[in-house]
Chains A and B, each alone.
Chain A
Amino acid sequence: AQTVTQSQPEMSVQEAETVTLSCTYDTSENNYYLFWYKQPPSRQMILVIRQEAYKQQNATENRFSVNFQKAAKSFSLKISDSQLGDTAMYFCAFMKLDSGAGSYQLTFGKGTKLSVIP
């Protein structure tokens, strides 16, 4: 079974600064996907960024980028130029593709609550 660990329950960052959220995972799979999701207060979950394990190049989406270290099983999220709207719970998630059944299942970490301070 896969596990995802987010070791920082809460973090804060000043507006316009940069912050990095940590995520580690445990798996025996070689091919998988990793995601960061954002859940603003009382609002729905939004996909922030995705990474395919077979790609060495780190994914980037505007102000969001990841540092994917496959050997270390680490997948951190960097938010640059933090904005007030970035205040949210951030969840790291792992997806193993069950090649037999083709099933998609996300395994989530417990989340990191990020507060952006004006």
Chain B
Amino acid sequence: KAGVTQTPRYLIKTRGQQVTLSCSPISGHRSVSWYQQTPGQGLQFLFEYFSETQRNKGNFPGRFSGRQFSNSRSEMNVSTLELGDSALYLCASSTAGPGIGQYFGPGTRLTVT
């Protein structure tokens, strides 16, 4: 099976702009989660979607949003970008069983200038 794919891999944006990141999960995986990875804060949970419904959301401002489509592909959007949003954004997919673990994509490296 193909792994989790994320596009684009690298992105440079200016403060105040918005950005959309895309994630395609492993075939058959219906749960998609997003994480932000920074040197200072480490890995932080953003949100999780299952069958097009957001099931859980981390402690991030409303500028961070997401959605999931019927084919399980997911997008996350960040509006009004701030310098502090510069990070590696990781997407992970999972089957219905939580103990199986989550499988991560390569990430999108976002740089805000």
**Nearest chain A CB to B44 CB, angstrom units:** 8
**Nearest chain B CB to A75 CB, angstrom units:** 14
Q: Are B56 and A101 in contact (CB under 8 A)?
A: yes
Q: Given contacts A33-B99, A47-B102, A98-B56, is CB(A107)–CB(B42) below 8 Å?
A: no
Shortest Cβ distance from A48 into B: residue: B101
Q: Are B55 and A101 in contact (CB under 8 A)?
A: yes
Interface of A is mostly: strand
* Number of residues of chain A lying within 8 A (CB) of chain B: 25
User: In the complex, A47 Cα to B93 Cα: how many Å?
Assistant: 12
Q: Are B102 and A106 in contact (CB under 8 A)?
A: yes
| Residue B31 is within 8 A (CB to CB) of chain A in the complex | yes
Stretch at the interface among B19-27, B71-79, B103-111: B103-111
* A83-118 vs B, Cβ < 8 Å mask (1 yes, 0 no): 000000001000101100111111111110000000
| Residue B62 is within 8 A (CB to CB) of chain A in the complex | no
Q: Are A45 and B90 in contact (CB under 8 A)?
A: yes
Q: Are A97 and B103 in contact (CB under 8 A)?
A: no
| Partner pick for A105 among B45, B100, B104, CB 8 A cutoff | B45
User: In the complex, A43 Cα to B105 Cα: how many Å?
Assistant: 10
Q: Are A103 and B56 in contact (CB under 8 A)?
A: yes
| Residue B94 is within 8 A (CB to CB) of chain A in the complex | yes
User: In the complex, A47 Cα to B100 Cα: how many Å?
Assistant: 10
